[in-house]
């Protein structure tokens, strides 16, 4: 670790200097199959020619002017996101945490405008929404929150995928103004709720005049085999947060709102210096164009199902494998014991994977991964698991 950098990351002993598609190359030129995608960011892989071309051309024209003025690319990208999502308005920031901060501010002001001086937001256990003070307070992880008390107040917590618990909290908390939920818990271990969960939350929000706010920082922009994971349930949220894959590596976040939620914020209520700049929005536009042109949404839905089925078949009968779960190119393999060391073991096999919650292998492959590379990924991970369990 460099002495000049804050000690905030337990970095692996490797530096990547180049990439192409689903492959990264280190300083010695060794190739690694990337099943992390920069934590669900580089869904179109590395050095994608269409993204690179868009960034190069935009950088020759204009990179930043600020939101004191109209930004053409910002309007174009907003229009595309509205077309794809069914939402009404967009606010651009620089990250997922900022997108969720925007959602939290919308909920707070929505409640205050109704005369609720202590508005509360219902959030889920085991969730992850970011590392700013408000978003880590909303997050359902004591590990993330440790050392940062006092937390931001106004969050009420229930178990994920438990509608009865939601109903009970609504009945006992008259200051509730919104529900904030991930359609699939990513950092929490790739937990996919039962069918109908989001639809039931939508009905409860409609019944009690609450905002349904869906955090699609990790699931959005194609990761689950739909443009947005809420589309699997044929509903619309009131607020939608996006980031990660929207820029394919260029920092960008977006907070989308619909109906009454879209009219909450006014000039002076919220802002950003860098958010929605011409370069970041050029990246977002190129991402959407590329995904549509190559029909990656249907591809991810189909190939993700194949990979999940392959993992289940190859790991069947291994009692230490508790569950294989996922949706699209978002796959979790949970073991019955901590398995963080698998990340380093995988690196030794030229394979990049991630372990979250201590016991769950999380795979977030880029959409551009070939069929041969998918087979390599499934075989490599299954081999790692078998070796790991044999060595214990």
Residues 147 and 279: beta-carbon distance below 8 Å: no
3-state SS class at 120: strand
Distance (Å, whole) CA 226 – CA 220: 8
Residues 225 and 297: beta-carbon distance below 8 Å: yes
Residue of 109, 226, 244, 327 with catalytic role:
244
Distance (Å, whole) CA 321 – CA 231: 30
Residue of 128, 155, 311, 388 with catalytic role:
128
Distance (Å, whole) CA 250 – CA 261: 27
Distance (Å, whole) CA 75 – CA 379: 44
Q: Whats the size of the chain, residue-wise?
A: 392
Residues 218 and 40: beta-carbon distance below 8 Å: yes
Known catalytic membership, residue 367: no
Known catalytic membership, residue 226: no
What are the residues whose beta carbons fall under 8 Å from the beta carbon of 317, sequence distance 6 or more?
Answer: none
**Cα–Cα nearest to 290, from 55, 70, 86:** 55
Known catalytic membership, residue 195: no
Instruction: Provide the greatest CA pair distance for the chain.
Output: 62
Residues 254 and 246: beta-carbon distance below 8 Å: yes
Distance (Å, whole) CA 355 – CA 359: 7
CB environment 269-288: b (16+ within 10 A), e (fewer): ebebebbbbbbbbbbbbbbb
Residues 239 and 256: beta-carbon distance below 8 Å: yes
> What's phi and psi for 11, nearest 5 deg?
-70, 145
Helix (H) or strand (E) holding 90: strand 89-93
CA dihedral sign of residues 35, 38, 39, 43: negative
Residue of 92, 215, 228, 327 with catalytic role:
215
Q: Which residues are catalytic?
A: 128, 215, 244
């Amino acid at each position: 670790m460099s002495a000049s950098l804050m000690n905030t990351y337990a970095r692996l002993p490797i530096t990547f200097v180049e990439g192409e598609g689903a492959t990264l190359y280190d300083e010695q030129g060794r190739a690694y199959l990337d099943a992390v995608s920069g934590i669900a960011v580089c869904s179109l892989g590395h050095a994608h020619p269409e993204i690179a071309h868009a960034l190069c051309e935009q950088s020759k024209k204009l990179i930043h002017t600020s939101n004191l003025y109209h930004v053409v690319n910002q309007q174009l990208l907003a229009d595309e996101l509205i077309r794809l999502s069914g939402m009404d308005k967009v606010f651009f920031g620089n990250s997922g945490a900022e997108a969720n901060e925007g959602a939290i501010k919308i909920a707070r002001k929505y409640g205050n405008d109704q005369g609720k001086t202590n508005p509360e937001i219902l959030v889920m256990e085991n969730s992850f929404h970011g590392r700013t003070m408000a978003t880590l307070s909303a997050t359902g992880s004591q590990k993330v929150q440790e050392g940062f008390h006092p937390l931001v107040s106004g969050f009420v917590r229930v178990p994920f995928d438990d509608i009865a618990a939601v109903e009970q909290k609504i009945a006992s908390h008259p200051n509730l103004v919104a529900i904030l939920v991930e359609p699939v818990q990513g950092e929490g271990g790739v937990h996919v709720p039962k069918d109908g969960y989001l639809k039931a939350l939508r009905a409860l929000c409609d019944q009690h005049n609450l905002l349904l706010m869906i955090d699609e920082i990790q699931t959005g922009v194609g990761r689950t085999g739909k443009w947005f994971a809420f589309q699997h349930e044929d509903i619309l949220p009131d607020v939608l947060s996006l980031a990660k894959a929207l820029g394919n590596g260029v920092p960008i976040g977006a907070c989308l709102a619909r109906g009454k939620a879209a009219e909450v914020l006014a000039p002076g209520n919220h802002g950003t210096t860098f958010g929605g700049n011409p370069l970041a929005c050029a990246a977002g536009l190129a991402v959407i164009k590329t995904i549509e042109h190559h029909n990656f949404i249907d591809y991810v839905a189909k190939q993700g199902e194949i990979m999940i089925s392959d993992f289940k078949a190859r790991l069947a009968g291994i009692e230490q494998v508790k569950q294989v779960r996922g949706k699209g190119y978002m796959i979790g393999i949970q073991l019955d014991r901590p398995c963080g060391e698998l990340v380093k073991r995988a690196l030794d096999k030229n394979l990049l994977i991630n372990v979250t919650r201590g016991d769950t292998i999380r795979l977030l492959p880029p959409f551009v991964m070939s069929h041969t590379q998918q087979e390599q990924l499934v075989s490599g991970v299954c081999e790692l698991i078998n070796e790991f369990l044999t060595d214990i």
